[in-house]
Chain A
């Protein structure tokens, strides 16, 4: 058994931009551009960032729903970066995914029982009958009724569908669950039900989560550690208490100050960033954030900052530190 349930090393994903009659590649969108992190068993790593920062692509690469351009992914110590066939199926027994829109990720023509039992049958873990028995147990675990097994996804509300998605992800007893915006489409009262369920399951099954979200408060609530991504790079990564109390990267600071907090008391001064995120097809030289950074220096325009450990287990890639 490995020390880490997930290790990601210098992971890259470039999508080619094709144009013309012969569809020649004229450039690349650098969706993920050299990201490294790891997740220990039973730990939750939250990944935050804005649209287009590469957080979802990172999650999809870990599930091998898209193939990395470069870098390495190790799940439970095994390199699955280029795994195929049986080896890939094996890796998915250890890592499962929960998606944002449970309606789009459940087959509308399959009963809930069939959807949950399918991974068990495909992986030849259990016989058909036993798989359905296990599916009923899982429905119970996620707070639905065992009798719901014969019903279809359209009969459920959004929150209930997300529970079904979670039950299916749990079917193979994975060590890691990649949750991509798993509560973002839900109303707050339902969102808190699902967050509580995820945290209960974590303790019950010693699960590790890679929890991808744009919502900083949700990530703070559920995570042990948090990684902040910007334009395909991870710019800061640290234990949640340290990262939220003392954000080091100017982008993390701006992100935290921009997130509206449901309280009326005045907080620290809001930093309002100018402009938009640059295009990942044509990223700026040097630090990816320098075009919007209120504290940019000359060195930021030419040199990419290296990660520096500032607090225990809390690093930042910024020229202001180091």
Chain B
């Protein structure tokens, strides 16, 4: 396979305080190819959002710290860049969209100002050119009345429109990589369908690779080329999207699939995973899922499993899977 656009190697992001060391991201490896949509799935606290913030180097300071690893983007290690060089990357080469557009947009600046300042900062355009380009971009993402909306403020727009504005801002410099952290979670299903459709169109037309962080397996089935399942700060399964739905191997992935009610078939009783996720300040020494795993053997509690390739391109962190 070609050199990946993004290669995360043994990334560890910890939160350190006097009393505890919280291992939010604990040694993950993820590859993203050019133009690929990679979905990172997992439940609250599995480290998926911290992974995306680590790529952007936006881990909350001073407690949060990337303590180990490499993030190779186009061959360059993002963790070795100066703050200035990283700032040049954000919004230009790598952009991010967030779950709640209202908190990500500046409430006191007009939409036009917010979009155009990116072009002024990264592309050296003057204000007039930047505003024209902003209108063009808003039209492209399907914002009606784009000429008027650039003079409006975020609170005047609906949730779906705000998320379109966010996408327009993120895509205006045609970045090579877009990181979307739960981009549709706050939206209604009919609006979610519109936004997902738009993201696929952007990928098809600009070749931007997308890392999509989500807890919704429905969204994953709709969008992903490749799926990474995270549990307790680690990657537990990584494989192409068809395989993850047809032949999930890790007991956690399988349990997740069995836990969701379906729109199309009747299930009498849903499978439910007993217990809760272990605390990131105090992981067990063996497999982190063992305590909740229906298949756990005594050995699982003793030895932590490694991520292994069980079939070509199919990585699973479980010693019981062959």
Contacts and interface: CB of A to CB of B under 8 A. Distances in A.
A282 interface: no
Given A188-B43, A190-B276, A272-B194, A262 B260 contact: yes
Interface stretch (A66-74, A131-139, A173-181, A210-218): A210-218
A273 interface: yes
A193 interface: yes
Contact of A272 (B43, B193, B262, B272): B193
Interface in A251-277: 254-256, 258-264, 267, 270, 272-273, 275-277
A192 interface: yes
B197 A261 contact: no
Given A159-B276, A196-B272, A189 B256 contact: yes
Contacts of A313: none
Interface string B194-230: 1011000000000000000001111111100000000
Given A50-B189, A262-B245, A189 B219 contact: no
Contacts of B274: 193
A195 B217 CA distance: 18
B218 A189 contact: no
B257 A189 contact: no
B270 A195 contact: yes
Contacts of B191: 50, 276
Given A187-B215, A192-B272, A256-B263, A270 B193 contact: yes
B160 interface: yes
Interface residues of A, number: 39
A270 B43 CA distance: 27
A242 interface: no
Contacts of A51: 159, 188
Nearest to A275: B144
B255 A189 contact: yes
User: Could you say which of A191, A221, A256 has the most chain B C-beta atoms within 10 Å of its C-beta?
Assistant: A221
A226 B256 CA distance: 26
A272 B160 CA distance: 13
A192 B257 CA distance: 11
A19 interface: no
A255 B190 contact: yes
B221 A217 contact: no
A218, A262, A270, A273: which has the most chain B beta carbons within 10 Å?
A262
A270 B218 CA distance: 14
B158 A221 contact: no
Contacts of A4: none
B44 interface: yes
B262 to A, nearest CB: 6
A220 interface: yes
B141 interface: no
Contacts of B158: 276
Contacts of A264: 221, 241-242, 245-246
Contacts of A244: 263-264
Interface string A202-244: 0000000000001011101110000000000000000000001
A128 B128 CA distance: 73
A243 to B, nearest CB: 11
Nearest to A258: B193
Nearest to B217: A262
B271 A187 contact: no
A103 B257 CA distance: 27
B138 to A, nearest CB: 15
A157 B217 contact: no
Interface string A14-50: 0000000000000000000000000000000000001
Contacts of B216: 260
Contact of B261 (A221, A256, A263): A221
A196 B255 CA distance: 15
Interface residues on B, range: 35 or more
B218 A196 contact: no
Contacts of B192: 258, 260
B272 A214 contact: no
Contacts of A273: 190, 193-194
Nearest to B262: A217
Contacts of A272: 190, 193-194, 197
Contacts of A255: 189-190
B267 interface: yes
Contact of B221 (A193, A195, A256, A263): A263
B220 to A, nearest CB: 7
Counting chain B CB atoms within 10 Å of each CB, the highest count among A222, A256, A276 belongs to: A276
B269 interface: yes
B161 interface: yes
Given A259-B189, A260-B216, A276 B161 contact: yes
A189 B259 contact: yes
B81 interface: no
Interface in B236-272: 241-242, 245-246, 255-257, 259-264, 267, 269-272
Nearest to B274: A193
B15 to A, nearest CB: 19
B190 A188 contact: no
Contact of B160 (A192, A199, A276): A276
B273 interface: yes
B189 A220 contact: no
Interface of B: 43-44, 144, 158-161, 188-194, 196-197, 215-222, 241-242, 245-246, 255-257, 259-264, 267, 269-274, 276
8 contacts: A51-B159, A187-B43, A188-B259, A189-B256, A221-B270, A222-B261, A276-B160, A277-B188
Given A217-B260, A254-B190, 17 more contacts: A159-B276, A187-B43, A187-B44, A192-B259, A192-B272, A214-B189, A216-B263, A220-B263, A221-B270, A259-B263, A260-B192, A261-B264, A263-B221, A264-B221, A264-B246, A267-B264, A272-B190
